[in-house]
Amino acid sequence: MTGFLRRGRVALLAYALLVPAALVVFGVVLYPAGRALVISFFDVDSPFPGAYPFVGLKNYADILTGARFWTAAQHTLYFTLASTTLEVVLGLGLAHLLAAPIRLRWLFRGIVILPWALPTIVNGAMWRWILNAEYGALNALLTQLHVQGDYRSWLGSDPFVALNMVVVADVWKNTSLVAFFLLAGLQTIPGDLLEAARIDGAGPVRAFLRVTLPMLRPTLAAVLVLRIIEAFKVFDIIYVMTGGGPAGGTQTVTFLTYLQAFSAERFSYGAALAYVTVVAILLLALIYLRLLRQQELSVS
Amino acid sequence: MSANGMGGVSRRGLLAGGIGAAALAAAGCDVGGGGADSGGAGTGEGKITALFMQQAGYSEDDIRGMTADFAKAYPKITVEPTFVAYEALHDKIVAAAPAGTYDVVLIDVIWPAEFGSKKIVTDVTAQFPAAWKTDMLGGALTTAEYQNKFYGVPWILDTKYLFHNTEMLGKAGVDAASLSTWDGVLAAATKIKNAGLVKYPLIWSWKQAEALICDYTQLLGAFGGKFLSDDFQSTAFATGGGLDALKWMKKTLDDGLTNPNSMESLEEDVRKTFSEGGAAMALNWTYMFNAANDPAQSKVAGKVDVLPTPAGSAGAPGVNGSMALCVTGGSKNQKAAWTYISYLTGADVQNKYAKSSLPCWAKSYDDPAVLSVAPKMVPAAKKELANLISRPEVPRYNEISQILQAEVQNALLGRKTPEKALADAADQAKSLLS
């Protein structure tokens, strides 16, 4: 009986301690999410409360049949694939460098994390200046190295070039995060495994492919999914660097969502667009959770 | 934590319950934004907040100066100004509307239809003194007018003028008088380019933004085009002057007269390039005259002159780029907000800061004090302000503009012919007009 009472009290205390967090989650995540879902079935065209016509799934149908969404989806997909691939490949190399037993390793590790510590807005503004067509540092560098004859426009001449430049800015910022995830993974690989491989006659490439990579797989999978989810939601760097241009060539789904919701005041259409993104991200998150669970199982 | 660690409530159960509760809570309210309580007149005293933009027109320092003077004249009202980039102004007004964050907002001439019909800003027709309607210049007066109602008080009266580098013109042997037509501008640009004075004589604000539509509008007007049909039910830019304007823009790029970097430039970029001596001629707002003649921020100071916009085949209208101050619908202190607006828009304050932005009042243009601070701007302004062309005054203007921006860029980048680009824009804009 006393044991039961104590358990009950502990549970009560647990709930009491959870209340603040629950309120925050409910207030800033679940409630707005639920409200946005409701709004997406109406035709809300003003920021004020009031009675708006119920339109059911019309907003979703409009999105899926509209050309603008699919163009934006293509840009998002390209951005996601290009940036995550580059980040993982470069991050893997960087992680190896940071794991190497060199002098002042702590300093290098500190420096490498800096880009990630920059707010995205600052990073975007910085790259906009670097890429400036009239006085950008990249143009100065390439011209002085005689790689190109004259200054050129990176963000205004060709939509595809501009999209790739946004990828570059994103990769510069996020590679360090990926590298640190992978560095943590690398450090869990026992040294004797690699030593054993070396004694068995495996070269560095073979040891990497046969030992490091398989052991790194869970970390790699987790960081890949996390980065894909983040890249999928890309907004602020686009807003700062290109504003969706030129010729709409860097407009992603979340940028279109913002334009529709706030610039065009089509709040319902924007909410529906946001939910299309949510569904895509939810699927990715499920994969992530499954991977985590596999990891937990393999550890225990 | 295991899945059943919390007294038998599963993780999935909690999540589903949470979302269900959220949806229920949401369904119980009105749809749309929060903040059901609307604004009010207030006591006419106390604190008010105001939202301004950071570039063109009056500078941040100007506005802080005016506000400090206002505080002296009206000690019972405190004003807290906020400044954002023009590109963020519209969306900030919308996002802040339900909470009533700002009492006073600066709005662009293209927004009264949208903001007025949605009650984001208040109808001030009743407070608008009859004398203002005759004392203000015609181009200014209509800034915040929509369907015969006034939604604000005109404050920044602006249009795009042609600025030129007198030194480059002189060296190339170009007479500034020949810049009164766009043909003359092209001939001058060719001469300047051939003389090797600058690689690209022309720079424009053709980034995918509203700035592009301002330039396009001015050219559309010069070539006799129209944005919409007379009944506002269909678009009219895809043929006639609208098409000619776009073809003309594209040709200046093809001929190497326009800097291709125009495609990523806003007005500030135009100002910087021009001030660095990187262009011979450019369209821009009034503020560029002082900025480009200021040795602290310009290498061509003292060599910059201004003219009214050149004429095309159908005339020389300037794009109406005016802005107005409005009392927001969500303001709890609308009386004090109106007092502040009346003060800022008054002729005395506007005359004092004429250097940054020319006054909206007709009699100011004969005021010796105004003439003395802007001796070169005033004659150009007097001529151009008498003939302004507006962008479409429709509630869904922003969407139409976004479509047009992308399609005009498609043509300028050579991804579509001008005909196809404008036809595509017209096709997409069709449903937004009905």
| HEC profile of chain B | CCCCCECCECHHHHHHHHHHHHHHHHHHCCECCCCCCCCCCCCCCEEEEEEEECCCCCCHHHHHHHHHHHHHHCCCEEEEEEEECHHHHHHHHHHHCCCCCCCEEEEECCCHHHHHHCCCECCCCCCCCHHHHHHECHHHHHHHEECCEECCEEEECCCCEEEEEHHHHHHHCCCHHHHHEHHHHHHHHHHHHHCCCCCCCEECCCCCCHHHHHHHHHHHHHCCCCCECCCCCCECCCCHHHHHHHHHHHHHHHCCCECHHHHHCCHHHHHHHHHCCCCCEEEECCHHHHHHCCCCCCCCCCCEEEECCCEECCECCEECCCEEEEEECCCCCHHHHHHHHHHHHCHHHHHHCCCCCCCCEHHHHHCHHHHHHCCCHHHHHHHHCCCEECCCCCCCHHHHHHHHHHHHHHHHCCCCCHHHHHHHHHHHHHHHHC
pLDDT of residue B3: 39
Token readout for B378 is 């005033």
pLDDT bin (cut points 50, 70, 90) of residue B14 is: low
Distance from CA of A286 to the nearest CA of B (A): 13
CATH class of this structure's domain A63-299: mainly alpha
Contact B33 A46 (CB under 8 A): yes
Helix axes A67-99, A213-232, angle to 10 degrees: 140
pLDDT of residue B208: 93
Distance from CA of B115 to the nearest CA of A (A): 9
Chain B residues whose beta carbon lies within 8 Å of the beta carbon of residue A289 = none
Chain A residues whose beta carbon lies within 8 Å of the beta carbon of residue B260 = 133, 153, 156-157
Contact B32 A44 (CB under 8 A): yes
Chain B residues whose beta carbon lies within 8 Å of the beta carbon of residue A46 = 32-33, 118-120
Distance from CA of B218 to the nearest CA of A (A): 20
- Average pLDDT of chain B, as a whole number: 89
pLDDT bin (cut points 50, 70, 90) of residue B5 is: very low
In the predicted structure, residue B321 carries a pLDDT above the cut 50: yes
> How many residues does this entry show for chain A?
300
Q: Which residues of chain A have pLDDT under 50?
A: none
In the predicted structure, residue B136 carries a pLDDT above the cut 70: yes
In the predicted structure, residue B9 carries a pLDDT above the cut 60: no
pLDDT of residue B141: 87
- Average pLDDT of chain A, as a whole number: 90
Domains of chain B: 46-158+321-389 (3.40.190.10), 161-319+396-433 (3.40.190.10)
In the predicted structure, residue B331 carries a pLDDT above the cut 50: yes
Contact A247 B415 (CB under 8 A): yes
Beta-bridge partners for B312: B315
In the predicted structure, residue B17 carries a pLDDT above the cut 80: no
pLDDT of residue A3: 64
Chain A residues whose beta carbon lies within 8 Å of the beta carbon of residue B21 = 26, 30, 34
Summarize pLDDT for B175-206 with one digit per residue, the tens: 999 999 999 999 999 999 999 999 999 999 99
* CA-based nearest residue in chain B for residue A44: B32
Task: Taking residues B341-350, report their average pLDDT.
Answer: 95
pLDDT of residue B431: 87
Instruction: Tell me whether strands B318-319 and B281-284 are parallel, antiparallel or unpaired.
Output: unpaired
pLDDT of residue B139: 80
pLDDT of residue B36: 44
Report which residue type is found at B95.
A
Domain residue limits, chain A: 63-299
pLDDT of residue A195: 87
Contact B399 A263 (CB under 8 A): yes
pLDDT of residue B64: 95
In the predicted structure, residue B7 carries a pLDDT above the cut 50: no
pLDDT bin (cut points 50, 70, 90) of residue B30 is: low
pLDDT of residue B327: 96
Report the alpha-carbon distance of residue A214 to residue A181 in Å, rounded: 16
pLDDT of residue B308: 95
In the predicted structure, residue B1 carries a pLDDT above the cut 50: no
pLDDT of residue B46: 87
**CB environment A173-204: b (16+ within 10 A), e (fewer):** bbbbbbbbbbbebbeebeeeebeebeeeebee
Task: Give the whole-number percent of chain B exceeding pLDDT 90.
Answer: 71
| Chain centroid, CA B350 distance in Å | 18
